[in-house]
Amino acid sequence: MSMTVAKSKHDVRAVRAIGIGAQLKSIRMRNKLTLKEAGNLTDLAPSTLSKIENEQISPTFTVMQKLATGLNIELPQLFTKPTVAQAAGRRDVTLKDKGNYHLTSTYEHELLSTQFSHKKMMPYKCRVHARSFDDFGEWVRHSGEEYMLVLEGEVQLLTEFYEPVNLVEGDSVYYDAMMGHLVISMSEDDAQILWVTTK
């Protein structure tokens, strides 16, 4: 499945959306979980899990966080099969525009450094499609801490306990990801940010 993404009104490209259905089912079956049992662990309806596994719907970032937390896995494992544990001294190079893409109605995530199955940070670039809180409908919150750096354009960071703050290219922020938060683009074109999330 592919989607057309507009970086700007003059730069439109097709991006292949990566499906996580087969990997999610593999993880569930490996743990000998029924859809109902997996639903209880992830706080998601069994019917929702079934639709994700069968690539009938594309999960939001919040749903992916619930899957990772409930199934006790790292989020990138939903996109890539776990690799065999390696000795210390590992490295993982991601070339420009060669990350794993995941598209939602609010964000276009490019997951970086996905070859390691056990790591303490999850880096990813994100092109922000959302323009208001209503595009989300609810706060995004998940375990860990988060660092965000604006790469292009202007964004507004909305958080549960602070006044909204506008950030432009080069600005950054670090915050507790358990606090409700979300990011919207204030630019005419979609803004781009770098996110680094800890477990």
The total of structural domains in the chain comes to: 2
Same domain, 48 and 107: no
pTM, rounded to two decimals: 0.63
Same domain, 194 and 106: yes
Angle at 188 between CA 182 and CA 189, to 5 degrees: 75
In a domain, 95, yes or no: no
Across the range 35-48, mean pLDDT stands at 92
- pLDDT greater at residue 193 or residue 3: 193
10 Å Cβ neighbour count for 102? Answer: 25
Distances in whole angstroms, Cα of residue 49 to Cα of each of 46, 95, 100:
5, 32, 21
Residue 42: the pLDDT is 92
Whether the pLDDT of residue 13 is over 60: the answer is no
Do 104 and 60 meet the contact criterion of CB atoms below 8 Å apart? yes
For the segment 171-194, what is each residue's pLDDT rounded down to a tens digit?
999 999 999 999 999 999 999 999
Whether the pLDDT of residue 2 is over 60: the answer is no
User: Which of 10, 45, 79 delimits the end of a domain?
Assistant: 79
10 Å Cβ neighbour count for 137? Answer: 9
Residue 5: the pLDDT is 43
For the segment 54-82, what is each residue's pLDDT rounded down to a tens digit?
888 888 888 888 898 888 887 777 876 54
Q: Tell me the CATH number at 59.
A: 1.10.260.40
Here the tokens at position 189 are 């074109």
Dihedral over alpha carbons 81, 85, 87, 88 (to 10 degrees): 70
Same domain, 63 and 130: no
Residue 82: the pLDDT is 47
- The parent domain of residue 65 ranges over 20-79
10 Å Cβ neighbour count for 95? Answer: 6
For the segment 118-154, what is each residue's pLDDT rounded down to a tens digit?
778 889 999 999 999 999 988 988 888 999 999 999 9
In a domain, 91, yes or no: no
